[in-house]
Structure 1
Amino acid sequence: MYYIGYDLGSSSIKAALVNAASGKVLGLAQYPETEMEIKSPKTGWAEQDPNLWWDYLGILTQKLIRQTGVSKTTIKGVGIAYQMHGLVLVDKDLEVLRPSIIWCDSRAAGIGNKVFGDLGEDACMQHLLNSPGNFTLSKLKWVKDNEPSLFEKVDKFMLPGDFIALKLTGEATTTISGLSEGIMWDFKTNTPALWLFEHLGIDTSLIPRMVPTFSVQGSVTKTAAKATGLPSGIPILYRAGDQPNNALSLNVLRPGQIAATGGTSGVVYAVTDHQQSLESLRINNFAHVNYTPDTPLIGKLLNINGAGIQYSWMKQHVLGAQSYEVMNSMAANVPIGAEGLRVVPFGNGVERMLNNGNDGAAIFNLNFNKHQVGHLFRAALEGIAFSFVYGVNIMKRDGVKVGNIRAGNDNLFRSEIFATTLATLIDSEIDILDTTGAIGAARAAGVSMGDFKSLEDVFSDNEKVCTYAPISDKGPYSEAFQLWEQDLNQRYLNNLKHSIHQ
């Protein structure tokens, strides 16, 4: 028997089949092969069609079943991970009303900032642990203000993973973790933040029914079974946003443990049992997958929107169809610091750690007589690593103790330049594990069904690929970072309220 896990990203959807008894991976697949389109009708906007996600998930499921050769009747449950912070709206017939406003869309930043100013930092941080910012509830308020006739038709709002669960089960549901990532959960009362909905003039009847993260959240309908190839009647057993789920997949479940992600965006995610933060605008605090009122574990998240997307952009527009491996090889022939060429990677919407600044990416000191394409790739990898370091330093000042870091074997962490630069500057080993969010979601489904005694039983470290250790001669890395930081502060001075040296 097997569990299937899905990981709905903004680039593609991934799926995994794992053995229900051992948790071992039987098969992995993704669809589409090329990156999904993100539409941007206006500068700073980012939208995707939720129905396209559903179509792709059906194709992907049938692809994985063919690839593994299993009988679909041996699949006994589903786990779902998904891109965080997106907004999906459906009417009373549960039909999608508009494209999803996804995580990297920055149109609602001003709304969230105004709410933060109106309600005050103390109220927001004590109850929400965050500023409303550019998150799901702010996006919902944007629709209310700017598309009133459409808003009148809204019966339920959902996060992207809630929508996939809706299509599978025919029921609109959500989780505590999901509401917290949309900045809709009151951590003091352990209820939805009804007072915040009232402040925004949004009816709380739009909130879907809540279900536990690990639980039977509904069953696959006959219609969904026909569309996907899954067995009718099997349960959806787990649901979480991609970053909490990534941490779970890497066995980051307890205070002091840290997960990192180097995909389209970059993320550092630290688990803590403290519900305080000095960085209310630059660091987010969400209910972790194993959060309960009795054990209120929080995931402290720092996000870098413009990370892997920059390297992907270079792959597409500088090298055409060539691979990341070719880019990394060219970068390896260039010395640390890229002979003065520096890249600031922030070009994918507002950057929360830059106080919601949105000034785009930048290249500094390009010399036409000295620099070649390898320099550009080296500077890009270093610039992304420096962004991580800058963010980790913010987290340290917010009380995070940086020890061993765990990361998946994704594109950026396959680059020795990126990973070694990061390990050296934060003075910490980085363990790379061969796992994915889809694998984590599938295994988590098994935890819900009691096939494993605990989360730790199934999420072990036996899939370690390698460890990146700090370089003893830190000087060249530190010098390159300091010059990069000077460029950053000069370019983004109007948006930065704190210097890294504070």
Structure 2
Amino acid sequence: MYFIGFDLGSSSVKAALIDSSTGKTIGVTNYPETEMSILAKQTGWAEQDPGIWWQNCCKVTQRLLRQTGVSSNEIKGVGIAYQMHGMVIIDKDQKVLRPSIIWCDSRAVEIGNQAFQAVGADLCVSNLLNSPGNFTLSKLKWVKENEPEVFNQVHKLLLPGDFIAMRLTGEVTTTISGLSEGIMWDFKENEPASWLFDHMGISKELIPDVVPTFSEQGTVTKQAAEEIGLPQGIPVLYRAGDQPNNALSLNAFEPGEIAASGGTSGVVYAVTDSIQTKEYLRINNFAHVNYTKENPRIGKLLNINGAGIQYSWMKQNLAHASASYEDMNNLAATVSIGSEGLRILPFGNGAERMLNNQNKGARISNLNFNLHKRGHMFRAALESIAFSFVYGIDILKNDGVDLSVIRAGNDNLFRSDIFSTTIASLVGANIQIIDTTGAVGAARAAGVSFGAFKSLNEAFSDIEHVMTYQPQSNKNNYSEFYELWKQDLEEQYHQ
């Protein structure tokens, strides 16, 4: 039997099928091939039509079934991963009232900041583990203040994954993990943060029924089955935001395990059992997929904007036209550790939260026209991004993370021996590379919830393990250049 997983991003919807009898991935695809449009009526705004998400879920399902040749009748359950923090509001007839205000929209920043000051840092940090920030509840407060005619029709507040589950099942539900990502969950009281809703002037009645992350969350309706091509009556079994789900996909469930990704931006997501934080201004804390009050599992999320985008910029502007990332990595490998003094700060992609929201751009230091060539630039780029990851992991360690292992996807950065070995050597932990996706993870999670796998560990074993990078014995060499890099960082960002 098969399980299907969806990963709703802001660019496309991915879908995957896994065969529970073998544990293998049968197929992965996405739709559309060109990025979904984002509507920006004003600078800093970002909206999408949830109806387009649903249409693309239907189209990607049909594409996946055609590509794999699997009969839809063999699919026994659905898992959903989705872009975090988005706001979808519906009326009593489950009609969407306005476009979704998605994760990268910044219009509610000041609302969150004002709430943080008004209710107090101590309460927010001890109970929310975060500032209300520019998250889902703050976005709804913006609607209340600016679109009262819309707000007065709101029956329920949904996250993007809640909306897809509703379209599949007709049931309006959410999860603890989802409420925590919207900064609506009180970890100390283990219930929605009623005091924050009261401060915002928003009724708690807008919260949907809360269901466990791993559970039967409704079954596919006749109408949904006709539209999407899945069997009527199969259950939705799992739902989580993209970063917790990415950690799940990488088999990161227990304290000390870190899930990392190195795309345009970099993400370090560390699992801990502590419901305390002191680095709340530089990281976020969310209920992980296996969170319970009795055994809390918190995902500490650190984002690095200036990561893969720097290496991509170098590929476009400095590499030969026909060069691949592998070619760049090979050229970088001809240069010794430290890039013969050439150092780069990669932070040229907007304000960096881990650097206290400063945005001073990237920086190249010590460039010598008589010495340095392309290989030096490429190695310095890889080292600088690796150093920024290590700097972020140090922040997480300062917030109580006891690192045991890092697991990462098989993306361009982590395929680089220089990049991964630098991180492994400096933090003193193995980096395991796993070839998986969020959609595959959601499909496996659905299988766990169904009972097709005995445990999370069985479902997320090393079937898709690619390789492991280990710390090198010459750590002092890496440490010397990391310390010099940090000195550059201090000069640039702490003047």
Q: Tell me the TM-score normalized by structure 2.
A: 0.90
Tell me the CA shift for residue 198 of structure 1: 0.7
Equivalent position SS for 2:414: helix
Distance 2:286 2:10 in 1: 20
Partner of 1:467: 468
8 Å CA contact 1:348, 1:360 repeated in 2 = no
**Length, aligned pairs only:** 493
Change (3 A) 1:165 1:331: farther
Distance 1:238 1:13 in 2: 17
* Residue correspondence of structure 1 range 8-407 to structure 2 within 5 A: 8-38=8-38, 40-312=40-312, 323-348=324-349, 350-355=351-356, 357-359=357-359, 361-365=361-365, 367=367, 369=369, 375-407=376-408
Distance 2:157 2:297 in 1: 26
RMSD: 2.7
Distance 2:325 2:170 in 1: 40
8 Å CA contact 2:113, 2:131 repeated in 1 = yes
Partner amino acid for 1:324? Y
8 Å CA contact 1:169, 1:219 repeated in 2 = yes
Change (3 A) 1:82 1:377: farther
What 5-or-longer segments of structure 1 have no aligned partner? 495-502
Equivalent position SS for 2:126: helix
Distance 1:469 1:385 in 2: 15
Change (3 A) 1:367 1:251: closer
Equivalent position SS for 1:295: coil
Instruction: For residues 76-111 of structure 1, give each alpha carbon's deviation from its aligned partner in whole angstroms, at most 9, with x where no partner exists.
Output: 110011122222233444343444333333333333
Tell me the CA shift for residue 44 of structure 1: 4.0
8 Å CA contact 1:306, 1:348 repeated in 2 = yes
Tell me the CA shift for residue 375 of structure 1: 4.7
What 5-or-longer segments of structure 2 have no aligned partner? none
Change (3 A) 1:74 1:125: same
Partner of 1:6: 6
Partner amino acid for 1:180? S
Equivalent position SS for 2:285: strand
Mean Cα displacement is larger for which, 102-111 or 451-460? 102-111
Distance 1:152 1:460 in 2: 48
Q: Tell me the TM-score normalized by structure 1.
A: 0.89
Distance 2:127 2:419 in 1: 37
Partner of 2:441: 440
Distance 1:71 1:368 in 2: 61
1:480 aligns with 2:468: no
Identity of aligned residues (%): 67
Distance 1:321 1:43 in 2: 36
Distance 2:374 2:92 in 1: 53
Mean Cα displacement is larger for which, 450-459 or 185-194? 450-459
Change (3 A) 1:341 1:455: same
8 Å CA contact 2:344, 2:365 repeated in 1 = no
Instruction: For residues 212-248 of structure 1, give each alpha carbon's deviation from its aligned partner in whole angstroms, at most 9, with x where no partner exists.
Output: 1111112222332233222222111100112221222
Instruction: For residues 448-493 of structure 1, give each alpha carbon's deviation from its aligned partner in whole angstroms, at most 9, with x where no partner exists.
Output: 1122222222121343211112233334433433333233333332
Mean Cα displacement is larger for which, 379-388 or 37-46? 37-46
Mean Cα displacement is larger for which, 172-181 or 262-271? 262-271
Distance 1:60 1:366 in 2: 49
Tell me the CA shift for residue 193 of structure 1: 0.7
8 Å CA contact 1:265, 1:306 repeated in 2 = yes
Change (3 A) 1:8 1:313: farther
Distance 2:417 2:274 in 1: 34
Distance 2:58 2:373 in 1: 44
Change (3 A) 1:242 1:226: same
Tell me the CA shift for residue 310 of structure 1: 4.2
8 Å CA contact 2:165, 2:171 repeated in 1 = yes
Tell me the CA shift for residue 265 of structure 1: 3.2
Distance 2:150 2:332 in 1: 49
Equivalent position SS for 1:114: helix
Partner of 1:416: 417
Change (3 A) 1:261 1:449: same
Change (3 A) 1:188 1:457: same
